[in-house]
Structure 1
Amino acid sequence: MDIRQLEYFLAIVDHGGFNRAASALYVSQPSLSQTVQGLERDLGSELFHRIGRRAVLTEAGRALIEPARAAVRSLETARASVAAVHELREGRLDVAAMPSQAVEPLTSMIHDFSGRWPGVSVVIKAAFTSRDVVDMVRTGAVELGLLATSGPLPEKEVASYPVGQQRFVLVVPPDGPFGGQQAISNRELTGQRLIVGQRGTGMRAYVDGLLEQGVACTIAAETEHRVAILPLVLAGVGLAVVTESWRVMAERAGARVLDIEPRTTLSIGLVSRRTGLSRAAEAFVATALRRGATDKPAL
């Protein structure tokens, strides 16, 4: 039994006979008859008494009407749902993002995307390192990932789309060191207590690089919870080297944000599977690339 057989059966019921149903369906009457006969064989019962040109429902035919209508309605609903997703009137898109990039540029990307396709829900999944992001995309846990890396964007296992760069900055409590300065040399971090993320993150790699260069700073706290960094800074535990995406939020909270010279940046990219992207994922990537093309480089 297939849905076409049920649609033909209901057409005969609704139009009062085989000839009228065939005309309404734009099929030949023999083709319609063969389809209904196939349905009758599948069910093991006649659905119509053929009396001349008339078709009179049998008891089995009358019993089939309601479930046939329910099946056809369900298929129509399924088709409409798929069409809605394809046309981006509804649906869901899962995106993995590292914490700093989830602040920005992901916020702006979702703002642009949702403004155009408000029916599609964007679900953000946490990933702490660029490797985590790639693995989540590669295994299908999410469709898209947003990551930051000090090296080239990954290309082997996923498709990558560069969307900008973010420089490193220093977050300082309002009564902390470097008062009156807008920028510092990285050498001025000597003797400072720093709050860092876990290994595998760009901010941790930057601090580890300073230590290797002989900048004698101290790691006061290491946290996997990126939301804890700003409260720790404001509490006076230490200073934090973070990406530019934190600037607005940190300044609103009362912290000072200083540029670090020489300028050092992370490359920001979206990653996806190489093939088989949903319509929503394709639209999100296109939206993000348009924003990246129009945004001014971070200073």
Structure 2
Amino acid sequence: MELRQLQYFVTVVDAGSFSRGAAVLHLAQPSLSRQIALLEDDLGQRLLVRTGRGVTPTEAGDALLVHARAMLDISRRARDELGEMDESPGGRIVVGMPPRVALGLSTPLIQKFRERFPRAVITVLEGLSVALRESLIAGKLDLALLFDPAASPQLAFQPLMREKLLLVAPPKSKLPPRVGLAALANYPMVLPSAPNAIRHLLDSVLGSRGIQLKVLAEVGAVRTAVALVQTGVGCTVLPESALGASGDELLPRAPIGPPSIWNALVLATPKARPGTRLTRGTAQLLQELDFRQR
């Protein structure tokens, strides 16, 4: 069993098929299939099952996947730590961000990263906070910015920013100075669909008080919800930082509460993987960014 074969195996599982895995690895598919077959022969277990839609791991494959990810992570950290002997470490770091955060922060982060770590490579992956949290636990990310993540014994959280949620209405709407929680039920709503972090927070706070919103439509992205509000379809609930695009200034908004509903952006790091110089430096860069100017 070689690390190279484990890397091939993990890549095929993540890609969901031999053909996509071969494309990621820049290998011929027959060569990749042969390496997986050699790995199965060596272990005496069938690891993958071909289906009409690709491949899925067997029970033995799922068990190996956990160990393979850990072994590959240890190997990568060993290389990174040796690279830290240089004044400017090399290596690669993968950072996860929600889309609306990545839209404003990817450019300044990458610019600062290139200045501080010219020999290293940074990858920014976008996704919903729930999916990013799971990817961080699974070892697919080194760091992640998350909105209101569920607690986990495997992750450490560093608070970066808190914002109050606002009721945002179509242009020319008349809103009171503040909107009480119970009064939110009177407004037709366009909301991000679960598992969006804002939606989960809103449902949790209102559900515990027996308040049911009048939801007209659910959408997959915050910007889509804002676009629908701009056309007059309904209202939405968002933090101020989500209203940064041209035309958003025309949308009436009002604070919610009392009590106010706060959402939080945190920097999440895995507890089980000691930070290298590169991960510590990138975490510091993230903490130095201005999260309110997005």
TM band (smaller chain) = 0.5 to 0.7
Change over 3 Å in CA distance of 1:176–1:113 after alignment to 2: same
**TM-score, normalising length: structure 2:** 0.58
**What are the residue-to-residue correspondences of 1:236-247 with 2, within 5 Å?**
236-247=232-243
Counterpart of 1:33?
A: none
- Residue type of the alignment partner of 2:154: E
Do the aligned partners of 1:164 and 1:268 also contact (CA within 8 Å) in 2? Answer: yes
User: Aligned to 1:267, which of 233, 242, 264?
Assistant: 264
Q: Secondary structure at the match of 2:183?
A: helix
How big is the shift at 1:84?
10
The answer to whether the Cα contact below 8 Å between 2:95 and 2:122 also exists between their aligned partners in 1 is: yes
**1:243 Cα deviation (Å)?**
2.4
1:87 and 2:88 equivalent?
yes
**Alignment match, 2:179:** 184
Q: Is the 8 A contact 1:109 1:288 kept in 2?
A: no
Distance 1:155 1:128 in 2: 17
3-state secondary structure, aligned to 1:261: coil
Aligned runs of 1:120-269 on 2, under 5 Å? 122-130=122-130, 132-149=131-148, 154-178=151-175, 181-208=176-203, 209-210=205-206, 213-249=209-245, 252=248, 254-262=250-258, 263-269=260-266
Q: Which residue of structure 1 lines up, in the alignment, with residue 281 of structure 2? A: 283
Aligned-partner Cα distance in 2 for 1:86–1:155: 35
User: Aligned equivalents of 2:157 and 2:212: distance in 1?
Assistant: 36
Counterparts of residues 56-75 of structure 1 (less than 5 Å): none
Q: Which whole-Å deviations, capped at 9, do the CAs of 1:267-299 have from their partners, x for residues lacking one? A: 32111222243433211212333558xx89xxx
Point out where structure 1 has 5 or more consecutive residues left out of the alignment.
1-77
Q: Secondary structure at the match of 2:179?
A: strand
Distance (whole Å) between structure 2 residues aligned to residue 84 and residue 221 of structure 1: 54
Worse-matched range after superposition: 110-119 or 265-274: 110-119
Q: TM-score, length-normalised on structure 1?
A: 0.57
> What number of residue pairs does the alignment pair up?
209
Larger Rg belongs to: 1
State how far apart, in whole Å, the 2-side matches of 1:241 and 1:213 are: 17
In 2, Cα distance between the equivalents of 1:207 and 1:162? 20
Q: CA deviation at 1:219?
A: 0.7
Work out whether residues 109 and 285 of structure 2, in 8 Å CA contact, stay in contact via their aligned partners in 1: no
1:210 Cα deviation from its structure 2 partner: 2.5
Q: Secondary structure at the match of 1:277?
A: coil
**2:246 and 2:152 mapped to 1: Cα distance?**
33
> Over the residues paired in the alignment, what is the CA RMSD in angstroms?
3.6
Deviation at 1:250, TM superposition (A): 6.9
Q: Structure 2 regions of 5+ residues with no counterpart? A: 1-78
